[in-house]
Structure 1
Amino acid sequence: MIDDLFEFLQEGVTPYHAAATAAAWLEAAGFTRLEEADYWNLEPGKGYYILRNGSAVVAWRIPDHAIGGWRITASHSDAPGWKIKSDAVTNDGCRRLSVEGYGGMNMASWLDRPLTVAGRVLVRTEDGVETRLVHFDRDLLVIPSLAIHMQRNVNKGHEYNPQIDMQPLWGPEGSRSLTDLLCEALGVAAEDILDRDLQLVTRQAPTQIGPDGEYFLAPRIDDLECAATTLLGFIDAAAETDSACAPVWAMLDNEEVGSSSRQGAQSSFLRDVLDRILESIPHSAQMEHRALANSFLLSADNGHATHPNFPAKSDPAAPVRLGGGVLLKYNASQKYTTNALSGGIFRAICEKAGVKVQTFTNRADEAGGSTLGNLQSHSLPIPMADIGLPQLAMHSAVETAAVSDAEAMVRAVAAFYRVHLRALGDGVYTLE
């Protein structure tokens, strides 16, 4: 399993690459790609998936009988980082790229490490416009820090200014430009590049650490660890799920900046897919409402492990350990959607599967951020639980998590898709 996770972390250098990697896994598992602009002719027993914006994916399997509910997991493809605004700015004999921050990050973690560029490029073709992915798989640039000799008090705390501190060094004045490299990589002329969405990418490869490889270190653990492990559980169990329920896997985009895009959790993307699935098969309005009432969604986004150097930063009533199992996240203001009902159901599923569950809550004096479930519930009124995996150094350029927790998530999600969950009434369920 860890090799599959490392592949997803390594290949998913941008949301576009993460979506392409997910699509390749789904194709290998026998799922058929559809397009939103096409007519959908769905067959029982078959699996399908679609992309929106090239950065968000929804996959599902049609049950052999009428759809009696949905089993959904949702994660996100994006991570905090640096978006490239322009090709190069010359300054004192050097060329720099011009970048802007995306999401909240630990800026210092991006300094003095090998970086490269990846993303998508829109190119002109004979027939119109085409999207192409690009990833320069080599050490290409760096954001150099200012020497301590010129800021003697830096270790006492420094406020980073993105416009001054965080602009990356590209090369010497007169060197080939980023556009030159794009043209070479894509085999196009500069005038055929119409636009691009590019970002800086850390060059750290996923690697196991610890005396027996108990932990792992990688970029983008938040949230590609959840994306990969829920996808592995979905693929493992999708063909064996309750015939009355349709298994659905979603990886949405732009969570780190509020999810308000057309491919984010605040959009209609997931609900659009569910509605179109029902529209493609005979159903009644009653059937649609009954299916929603018999549905369940797991919002999968990582949470903070108790930091061994800073234990006071975590809730003392709910310590979270690396290697302690899947997180079940609670918040009094419903920024996490878990309540007694959804939490109890998830705990029961994990208990049957032999998966350890940890409770995650923030300190009472520390605000937590919203996740996918809170935002998705605006358009999808079904029971939800917020889950995740414990990690350290969240939103750093490189993060740390535990191998055993990732394995636990795969088992928990596979069990979630396999369980025969029935709503017998409000707050009354059967699990078989």
Structure 2
Amino acid sequence: MPSNSAVEHIQDLGAYVSASPSSFHAVHEAARRLDAAGFTALDELEPWGGGAGSFYVIRDGALIAWVTPEGATPATCFNILGAHTDSPSFKLKPKPTTGKFGWLQAGVEVYGGPLLNSWLDRELRLAGRLVMLDGTQHLTATGPLLRFPQLAIHLDRAVNDGLTLDKQHHMNPVFGLGDPESTDVLGILAASVPGASVDPSGIGGYDIVVADTQAPEIFGANGEFFASGRLDNLSSTHAGLTALIAHSNASVAGPIAVLAAFDHEEIGSASRSGACGPILEDILTRISDGLGATVSERRQALSASFCVSADAGHAIHPNYPERHDPANRPILNGGPLLKINANQRYATDATGAAFWARLCREADVPYQEFVSNNDVPCGSTIGPLTATRLGIRTVDVGVPLLSMHSARELCGVDDPQRLAAVAEVFFRTAV
């Protein structure tokens, strides 16, 4: 039976996911929580001061937040928890309103690597940002609007022998009945902007994704399971956010604690707000500049720094045990994963593994090791990218899931709180 604190944490994670149907909503909700905790928002277009305090910066769908302790020097190291705000889904195309045979449909493009079948026959919404011709931006999110309708078994008797979905022809969601010439999905999105009157004719661009509408849910024989969309990777973003806020309230001396919540991880991170881009280096450089660091002192600080790359991983699937390593078989509620790969698809090395073990011991949290079956190549994370770009020692970790990249993923109730507890210890602990 999960503890009360684990249930409270998972309920708050559910509230965060529900408020974050897109990466832009995820950083907006994180900013709201940081504001309430006394953090100061900074603008990259303005000069910054230096010194101690709690701050954050938003760049598109990414957020960097940090706590600089009293007594920080130009050579003070950074302890960085890296995560990402995006999830596999579908993105609205140009000329988004389509349809035929009396159906209204939305033109969407596959974003990342979603489990396509998991999106069928679900009530879905659109969410993201609208950018107006004058440069202003608006967050928007509809209510239940869309559905990818599956073909009835009567019209495909062999469907249970193998479902094949064509991304171009079969993944076109319906959102109404009528004439596409007289109904525009952009008008629906404009009308869904909270607290503002938006003229659809003034929309110059948009970044809109499809998101599930079903509420997160605790379930299981003893309430041990948690189902939700976007656990990959809002489970890590939320853990880092709650840990950083708790750390900021503790006034603990030590490293400069940083939460780096990147966008675009699911499509390779190659963007100005992704881990391949300059965002983290830009912010760390400006923090160092505010402390009066020389180039040499900045390099010294980075050499002493550490990154925990937190991204969801795989629990063993009871129906497909042959797809997992025979010796390392993580389970739900067995603790967060330490992710290891000989080919550096994960950035963990022996030094990082030992530091992670030390953090977990101090936090009184169990952890599990994950390594892929040799015949099943693993994915990658922002960990190797961060280590490569900045030379910071990095370890890859995360909450174990089933149904990763599904519209609705599954984790244990205990594990997200445990990840947050280790993150809080990490933020105050030098290597």
Q: Normalising by structure 1, what TM-score?
A: 0.93
- Provide the rounded CA distance (Å) in 2 between the counterparts of 1:226 and 1:346: 16
- Provide the rounded CA distance (Å) in 2 between the counterparts of 1:243 and 1:173: 62
Instruction: Report if aligned partners of 1:116, 1:203 keep a CA contact under 8 Å in 2.
Output: yes
Instruction: Report if aligned partners of 1:42, 1:62 keep a CA contact under 8 Å in 2.
Output: no
SS for the counterpart of 1:318 is coil
Instruction: Report if aligned partners of 2:67, 2:257 keep a CA contact under 8 Å in 1.
Output: yes
Pairing 1:190–2:232 present: no
Amino acid of the residue matched to residue 330 of structure 2?
A: V
Offset at residue 240 of structure 1 (A): 3.6
Amino acid of the residue matched to residue 151 of structure 2?
A: L
Instruction: Report if aligned partners of 2:386, 2:392 keep a CA contact under 8 Å in 1.
Output: no
1:1-80 alignment runs, 5 A limit: 1-44=9-52, 46-53=53-60, 55-65=61-71, 66-67=73-74, 68-80=76-88
Q: Which residue of 1 aligns with 2:398?
A: 388
For residues 191-211 of structure 1, the C-alpha deviation after alignment (integer angstroms, 9 at most, x for no partner) is 211111112111111110112
Q: Which residue of 1 aligns with 2:417?
A: 407
Instruction: Report if aligned partners of 1:323, 1:404 keep a CA contact under 8 Å in 2.
Output: yes
Q: Which residue of 2 aligns with 1:430?
A: none
- Provide the rounded CA distance (Å) in 2 between the counterparts of 1:31 and 1:208: 31
Q: Which residue of 2 aligns with 1:428?
A: none
- Provide the rounded CA distance (Å) in 1 between the counterparts of 2:118 and 2:329: 26
1:341-356 alignment runs, 5 A limit: 341-356=351-366
Q: Which residue of 2 aligns with 1:374?
A: 384
Pairing 1:132–2:141 present: no
Q: Which residue of 1 aligns with 2:175?
A: 170
Instruction: Report if aligned partners of 2:128, 2:208 keep a CA contact under 8 Å in 1.
Output: yes
- Provide the rounded CA distance (Å) in 2 between the counterparts of 1:92 and 1:72: 53
Q: Which residue of 1 aligns with 2:113?
A: 104
For residues 231-278 of structure 1, the C-alpha deviation after alignment (integer angstroms, 9 at most, x for no partner) is 111211235465242111110010000000111111111011000111
Q: Which residue of 1 aligns with 2:92?
A: 84
Q: Which residue of 2 aligns with 1:306?
A: 316
For residues 186-233 of structure 1, the C-alpha deviation after alignment (integer angstroms, 9 at most, x for no partner) is 412232111111121111111101123111000001000111012111
- Provide the rounded CA distance (Å) in 2 between the counterparts of 1:156 and 1:163: 22
Pairing 1:330–2:340 present: yes
Q: Which residue of 1 aligns with 2:188?
A: 181
For residues 91-146 of structure 1, the C-alpha deviation after alignment (integer angstroms, 9 at most, x for no partner) is 1111111111000111011111111111110124xxx320100011x221211011
- Provide the rounded CA distance (Å) in 2 between the counterparts of 1:257 and 1:375: 13
Pairing 1:117–2:123 present: no
Instruction: Report if aligned partners of 2:337, 2:399 keep a CA contact under 8 Å in 1.
Output: yes
Q: Which residue of 2 aligns with 1:205?
A: 215
SS for the counterpart of 2:104 is strand
2:327 to 317, 329, 348: 317
Instruction: Report if aligned partners of 2:257, 2:428 keep a CA contact under 8 Å in 1.
Output: no
Q: Normalising by structure 2, what TM-score?
A: 0.94
Amino acid of the residue matched to residue 109 of structure 1?
A: S
- Provide the rounded CA distance (Å) in 2 between the counterparts of 1:244 and 1:215: 36
SS for the counterpart of 1:272 is helix
Instruction: Report if aligned partners of 1:241, 1:417 keep a CA contact under 8 Å in 2.
Output: no
Q: Which residue of 1 aligns with 2:4?
A: none
Identity %: 35
For residues 26-67 of structure 1, the C-alpha deviation after alignment (integer angstroms, 9 at most, x for no partner) is 1111111011111011332x11100112x0000011221215
SS for the counterpart of 1:91 is coil
For residues 383-412 of structure 1, the C-alpha deviation after alignment (integer angstroms, 9 at most, x for no partner) is 110000101000011010011001111111
1:263 to 263, 270, 273: 273
For residues 333-387 of structure 1, the C-alpha deviation after alignment (integer angstroms, 9 at most, x for no partner) is 0110101101001101111211101000000111111100111122110111000
Offset at residue 418 of structure 1 (A): 2.2
- Provide the rounded CA distance (Å) in 2 between the counterparts of 1:231 and 1:192: 35
SS for the counterpart of 1:164 is coil
Q: Which runs of 5+ in 1 are unaligned?
A: 423-432
Instruction: Report if aligned partners of 2:51, 2:290 keep a CA contact under 8 Å in 1.
Output: no
1:254-293 alignment runs, 5 A limit: 254-293=264-303
Q: Which residue of 2 aligns with 1:426?
A: none
- Provide the rounded CA distance (Å) in 1 between the counterparts of 2:265 and 2:191: 33
Instruction: Report if aligned partners of 1:61, 1:239 keep a CA contact under 8 Å in 2.
Output: no
- Provide the rounded CA distance (Å) in 1 between the counterparts of 2:212 and 2:365: 33
Amino acid of the residue matched to residue 177 of structure 1?
A: D
- Provide the rounded CA distance (Å) in 2 between the counterparts of 1:50 and 1:121: 20
Offset at residue 165 of structure 1 (A): 1.1
1:230 to 232, 236, 240: 240
SS for the counterpart of 1:267 is coil
Aligned residue pairs: how many?
415
Offset at residue 90 of structure 1 (A): 2.5
Pairing 1:158–2:163 present: yes
Instruction: Report if aligned partners of 1:75, 1:252 keep a CA contact under 8 Å in 2.
Output: yes
SS for the counterpart of 1:162 is coil
Instruction: Report if aligned partners of 2:141, 2:189 keep a CA contact under 8 Å in 1.
Output: no
Instruction: Report if aligned partners of 2:128, 2:206 keep a CA contact under 8 Å in 1.
Output: yes
Q: Which runs of 5+ in 2 are unaligned?
A: 1-8
- Provide the rounded CA distance (Å) in 2 between the counterparts of 1:183 and 1:72: 37
- Provide the rounded CA distance (Å) in 1 between the counterparts of 2:54 and 2:43: 14
SS for the counterpart of 1:165 is coil
- Provide the rounded CA distance (Å) in 1 between the counterparts of 2:314 and 2:220: 19
CA 241–367 in structure 1, closer or farther in 2 if over 3 Å, else same: farther
